[in-house]
Amino acid sequence: MKLLYDIFPNIKFIITGSSSLEIAGKTAKFLVGRMLSFYLYQFSFEEFIKAKSDQLSYIYEERKNKVIDFMLNGKDFKFTEDIFREDFRKLFEEYTIYGGYPEVIKAEDIETKKIILKNTFETYITKDITELFCVSTFLIK
């Protein structure tokens, strides 16, 4: 990477996923002053709702603001009958079970979600981490 960076000064390289583990662990010392590292986190529940439904996102935001206003300013609030309660419960259940990875969120069916999560686990845990840190796979399985 250092050689490529030095030879092609007008080209920027983006290293993501499992490659970033090796760079962070073994080769980062050779890229001092040449790299910018940042983490891209999974979706928050609020972002998850936004990805699933604009209407529920609007309602969530409105209610969140009422709660914040209550906490910061003591402004009283009252929620009327909640016709969206079951919708929010289903989304929360999906989020807590399958998480906030964007590809998993976009997947429509449960089997696809499971396959994506299984592949993610196998790539990062059973391959990259075990190889990078010389951990025996029998400890993980």
Residue with tokens 């025996």: 136
**How many angstroms separate the CA atoms of 25 and 37, rounded?**
13
Q: How far apart are the first and last CA of the chain?
A: 34
Tokens linked to 112: 């696809």
Tally the C-alpha atoms within 13 A of residue 118's C-alpha that lie toward its C-beta. 6
Closest CA to 15 of 29, 33, 28: 28
Q: At 56, is the pLDDT very low, low, confident or very high (cuts 50, 70, 90)?
A: very high
DSSP state letter for 30 = G
Tokens linked to 94: 């999906």
pLDDT in tens, 85-128: 999 999 999 999 999 999 999 998 999 999 999 988 877 766 66
Is pTM, for the whole model, over 0.85?
A: no
Has residue 19 got a pLDDT over 70?
A: no
The residue ranking higher by pLDDT, 62 or 28, is 62
**How many angstroms separate the CA atoms of 35 and 118, rounded?**
31
